[in-house]
Amino acid sequence: MSTNKSFSTETSERYSRALFEISRDSDDLDKVESDIKNFKLIYDKNLEVRNFIKDPSQIITEQNKLVNLISDKLNFSKNVQKFLLLLIEKRRIFFVNKIIESFLRLCSQKRGEIKASLISSKELSQTELNDISTDLSKSMGSTLKFDYKVDKELIGGLKLQLGSIMIDTSIRNKLKKYEQAMLEN
């Protein structure tokens, strides 16, 4: 493990691991994961909420009121509500997005899922995505979760990233290789 982690990364991983372990130990992990995803939706979609929560000049009691309101309205588990309030109290709420991403990664790893990035030159149907996921999951021996994007600049083909492995069958990549080979000769 690298010793050059940033403070925010180290802090985020520590807090996310704590939430994960508390949730797992109290048999509340599925509910907590669902609540965290719902909170992330609100946080990502609402700039005012995000700015209010991340603003270090805000009064802690006011931030607590907002978290309590959101928690009550969305029926968050006590673990999630207390966790968010702890982040506010410890002034770590600024890292909430990194903490959430780290927590969701831990949940995904627990289920044996591997995160992959898939980029195609054209929009793929849900059936095509499912077929790709099923085939790759069988060959990898683990369930794959895709972050899927469309990039028309690829001209044709796919790019797949599984951890440190990159598979690039795009026409753009092939054209780059031909260009490089021509320049070298």
Query: Closest by alpha carbon to 119, among 66, 82, 179, 168?
Result: 168
* pLDDT reading at 114 higher than 90: no
CA angle 82, 86, 91 (to 5 degrees): 155
* Residue type, position 152, single letter: K
Tell whether the model's pLDDT for residue 165 goes beyond 80.
no
Is residue 117 within 8 A of residue 160, CB to CB? The reply is yes
> What b/e sequence results for 151-173 when a residue is b if at least 16 CB atoms lie within 10 Å of its CB, and e otherwise?
eeebeebbbbebeeeeebebebe
The single-letter DSSP state of residue 58 is: S
What is the spatial distance between Cα 15 and Cα 155, in angstroms, rounded to a whole number?
42
Evaluate whether 105 touches 115 at the Cβ level (below 8 Å). Answer: yes
Say how far apart CA 88 and CA 82 lie, in whole Å: 10
User: pTM, whole model, 2 decimals?
Assistant: 0.65
State in words which class domain 7-109 has. mainly alpha
Which of 74-78, 88-92, 126-130, 137-141 is the least confident region? 137-141
For residue 82, what pLDDT is reported?
Answer: 93
**Among the ranges given (42-46, 78-82, 103-107, 109-113), the one the predictor scored with the smallest mean pLDDT:** 109-113
pLDDT at 141 over 50: yes
- The phi, psi pair for 150, rounded to 5°, reads -110, 130
Domain ranges across the chain: 7-109, 113-184
